[in-house]
Amino acid sequence: MSVKDRIEDSKLLFHAGRLEGALISVLLAVAATSRKRYPATTGMSDRAAFEQFLKDERAKFIGGKEVKIDFCGETLALESVLYKFVRNCLIHEAELDDHVSFDYGDFLLDKRGTTDQFTFSSELVVRLAYTVETAPENKGLYPQGRYDRLPEPVPLKRLAVVKYRCGDQDFELFCWACSVRREAWEDTGEVTTWLHLKGRQAYRGQMADRPGLTLLVPTKYVTSIEAGPAFRQARKRTSADVGVFPPDKPSPEGAMNLSDIERVVTDLQIPLVATTLTVYRPHYELAIRDGESASGSANGGSGTA
């Protein structure tokens, strides 16, 4: 059976509520893809190939940051935690390590209480599957243009009011998650810069009573992005197909510059460090290897990645 089969099995198990089974399947796909990139002839062990592959793909997996975790007397990279405490235990012992649990959620890794306990969420399966599906080694295994495999856009600290114009039509959206992405347009293969949005349509400043949408809007169509009211989202992480606005229309008059869009979106997003891992705990530190660092509070507490 192929890497594609492993990913398809993972999706079936995921939607059937068998999370550990979904995780096993996607980890097998990661291991197989890592061996495509780093075959045995390179002299790399299975562990080295697995971890190096995920390090290579950090931009898709954890936003490009190197994450170090102090846990159980060791300082480990996130990739090593996945191999040692997740992959090995599930594959060799048929159950997770005593320090690790797994549940549905839209965070990546959470740690609460006074003991050394990790909780990975279903987001881990989503991100690993996307990493495998988009790896160059697996080119041709998946049809092009499946934008529903993109990682979730980054949640926002408050609602954003996004206005854009496509051709002769104006649109307004109240969104609670937003990211700038560069992905190929499926019709031409040309790399396009998009605004990846989750939200609801609005009309004259009022949110419409309609289901939420996930959209890809070419940034060249965006005319304004403004901070809206504070909000609290009751439901998280629902699957939905992505609506795509074709990038074949000209930029409207008054379109925002890309640099301004990126600045405004970054200001509105919940910071990556706060959404990647939980900190605020003794003996648990998160080090970002770009000159920044964050460490747990000696007073304890809880948080969610």
Question: Across residues 230-239, what is the average pLDDT?
Answer: 54
What's the one-letter identity of residue 31?
A
- The verdict on 170 and 117 lying in the same domain is no
The pLDDT score that the predictor gives to residue 84 is 79
Residue 150 lies in a domain: no
Residue 52 lies in a domain: yes
- The verdict on 114 and 227 lying in the same domain is no
Question: Across residues 269-276, what is the average pLDDT?
Answer: 58
Name residue 70's beta-bridge partners: 75
Residue 147 lies in a domain: no
73: left (phi over 0), alpha (psi -120 to 50) or beta: left
The pLDDT score that the predictor gives to residue 205 is 64
- The verdict on 95 and 239 lying in the same domain is no
The least confident of 207-221, 228-242, 285-299 is 285-299
- The verdict on 135 and 11 lying in the same domain is yes
Token digits for 166? 């496509």
Q: Provide the pLDDT confidence category of residue 6 given band limits of 50, 70 and 90.
A: confident
Residue 119 lies in a domain: yes
- The verdict on 131 and 166 lying in the same domain is no
The pLDDT score that the predictor gives to residue 43 is 92
The continuous run of DSSP H or E covering 243 comes out as strand 243-244
- The verdict on 99 and 246 lying in the same domain is no
- The verdict on 300 and 188 lying in the same domain is no
Residue 148 lies in a domain: no
The least confident of 12-16, 111-115, 234-238 is 234-238
C-alpha span between 215 and 148 (Å, rounded): 10
The pLDDT score that the predictor gives to residue 74 is 77
Question: Does this model's pTM top 0.75?
Answer: no
For residue range 92-136, list pLDDT tens digits in order: 767 776 777 777 766 677 665 545 677 777 788 888 888 898 888
Token digits for 65? 């940051």
Q: Provide the pLDDT confidence category of residue 186 given band limits of 50, 70 and 90.
A: confident
C-alpha span between 240 and 199 (Å, rounded): 12
The continuous run of DSSP H or E covering 227 comes out as strand 222-227
- The verdict on 193 and 137 lying in the same domain is no
- The verdict on 70 and 193 lying in the same domain is no
- The verdict on 280 and 253 lying in the same domain is no
Question: Across residues 235-244, what is the average pLDDT?
Answer: 58
* Res. 290: pLDDT tops 50: no
Residue 194 lies in a domain: yes
Nearest to 24 by CA among 37, 47, 7: 7
Q: Are 287 and 92 in contact (CB under 8 A)?
A: no
- The verdict on 7 and 50 lying in the same domain is yes
The pLDDT score that the predictor gives to residue 287 is 35
Task: Give the chain's mean pLDDT.
Answer: 77
Number of domains in the chain: 2
Residue 178 lies in a domain: yes
For residue range 76-85, list pLDDT tens digits in order: 888 888 887 7
More confident residue, 153 or 224: 224
* Res. 48: pLDDT tops 90: yes
The pLDDT score that the predictor gives to residue 53 is 93
Domain that holds residue 174: 155-268
Beta strands in 84-133 (DSSP E): 100-103, 109-111, 118-121
Question: Across residues 188-194, what is the average pLDDT?
Answer: 91
C-alpha span between 193 and 201 (Å, rounded): 21
The pLDDT score that the predictor gives to residue 2 is 82
Token pair 């390179």 in the structure block, residue? 42
Q: What are phi and psi of 304, to 5 degrees?
A: -135, 140
The pLDDT score that the predictor gives to residue 223 is 96
Residue 118 lies in a domain: yes
More confident residue, 3 or 100: 3
- The verdict on 18 and 113 lying in the same domain is yes
Nearest to 28 by CA among 102, 20, 230: 20
* Res. 35: pLDDT tops 70: yes
* Res. 13: pLDDT tops 70: yes
Q: Where are the alpha helices (DSSP H) in 212-257?
A: none
